[in-house]
């Protein structure tokens, strides 16, 4: 059973572990290619607490934290934001938890924050993520060719988005 709670300072060591996991960092790099550290993530968290344009959540299975997700760059005037998700624990990918987590997050974005649109960027090689985003109703809006260099080759970055009017929570037996 998936549980969602606000991201909190005690999650900082988990952020370091998860963001440094190659299964995550290959798709969510900070562009420097460097590993993150406790010091960097403490700094990130201090800035996060003061930033009303970001809302992050940790999700757990049977009380064990397995990943985090959130909305960044929340623009009140334009009513849009950018979505982020990472399952940091290897054993929990490919089991439907990403789907459950994003249904929760999109419901929060469209029903609580009343956003008009949610955007995201995804590397073409990330087939599982693309499959999930399409299932949820995201549509490709653009493509930046050869934008990302991973695993010794260039990859396109897709820009995908979903509108509030098109958000229909799919039925998923939890
Ligand atoms: C991307 C991520 C959030 C997806 O969550 P998940 O729980 O692993 O995925 P799910 O089990 O919900 O599966 C999503 C869909 O992808 C499909 N899928 C799984 N592996 C696939 C693959 N290699 N190719 C195509 N589709 C695949 C599944 O069948 C499922 O579709 P279905 O329910 O219609 O069968 C998770 O794998 C993750 O955190 N990856 C590392 C970080 C990352 O890539 N974040 C996203 C950056 S844009």
Sort strands 117-123 and 80-87 into parallel, antiparallel or unpaired.
Answer: parallel
Copy the structure tokens of residue 61.
């299975």
Supply the residue whose CA is at minimum distance from atom 17 of ligand 1. Answer: 128
The predicted pLDDT at position 174 comes to: 57
Q: What are phi and psi of 34, to 5 degrees?
A: -85, 155
Query: What does the pLDDT average to over 29-53?
Result: 92
In percent, how much of the chain has pLDDT > 90?
A: 90
The per-residue pLDDT of the chain, averaged, comes to 95
Pocket residue to mutate for ligand 1, from 128, 135, 138, 156, most atoms within 8 A of Cβ? 128
Q: Rounded to the nearest 5°, which phi and psi values hold at 71?
A: -120, 135
Confidence of residue 173 (pLDDT cuts 50, 70, 90): low
Q: Give the position, in ligand 1's atom list, of the atom nearest the Cα of 86.
A: 39
Give the per-residue pLDDT at 151: 84
Write down the pLDDT at residue 32: 74
DSSP string, 65-82: EEEEEEEEEEETTTTEEE
- Token digits for 123? 């590397």
Tens of pLDDT, residues 101-147: 999 999 999 999 999 999 999 999 999 999 999 999 999 999 999 99
Please report the atom of ligand 1 found closest to the CA of residue 135. Answer: 34
What does 105-131 look like in DSSP terms, one character per residue? HHHIIIIIS--SEEEEEEETT-HHHHH
pLDDT in tens, 62-81: 999 999 999 999 999 999 99
Q: How far apart are CA 26 and CA 20, in angstroms?
A: 9
The answer, yes or no, to whether residue 41 has pLDDT greater than 60, is yes
What is the model's pLDDT at position 171?
72
Q: Six-digit token pair at 81?
A: 């934001």
pLDDT higher than 90, residue 31: no
Give the chain's domains with CATH numbers. 2-166 (3.40.630.30)
CA distance 5 to 8: 9
Rounded Cα distance between 172 and 44, Å, is 34
Q: How remote is the CA of residue 133 from the centroid of ligand 1, in Å?
A: 9
Q: Is the pLDDT of residue 169 over 90?
A: no
Confidence grade of residue 33 (pLDDT, cut at 50, 70, 90): confident
Tokens in use for 160?
Answer: 């995908």
């Amino acid at each position: 059973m998936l549980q969602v709670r606000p991201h909190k300072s005690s999650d900082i060591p988990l952020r370091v572990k998860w963001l440094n996991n190659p299964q995550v960092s290959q798709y969510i790099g900070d562009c420097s290619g460097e590993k993150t550290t406790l010091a960097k993530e403490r700094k990130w968290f201090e800035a996060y607490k003061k930033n009303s344009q970001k809302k992050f959540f940790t999700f757990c299975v049977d009380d064990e934290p397995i990943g985090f997700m959130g909305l960044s760059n929340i623009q009140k005037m334009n009513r849009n934001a950018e979505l982020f998700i990472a399952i940091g624990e290897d054993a929990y990918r490919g089991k439907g938890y990403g789907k459950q987590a994003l249904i929760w997050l999109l419901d929060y974005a469209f029903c609580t924050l009343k956003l008009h649109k949610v955007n995201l960027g995804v590397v073409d090689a990330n087939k599982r993520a693309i499959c999930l985003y399409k299932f949820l109703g995201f549509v490709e809006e653009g493509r930046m060719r050869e934008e990302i260099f991973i695993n010794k080759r260039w990859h396109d970055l897709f820009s995908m988005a979903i509108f509030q009017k098109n958000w229909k929570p799919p039925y998923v037996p939890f």
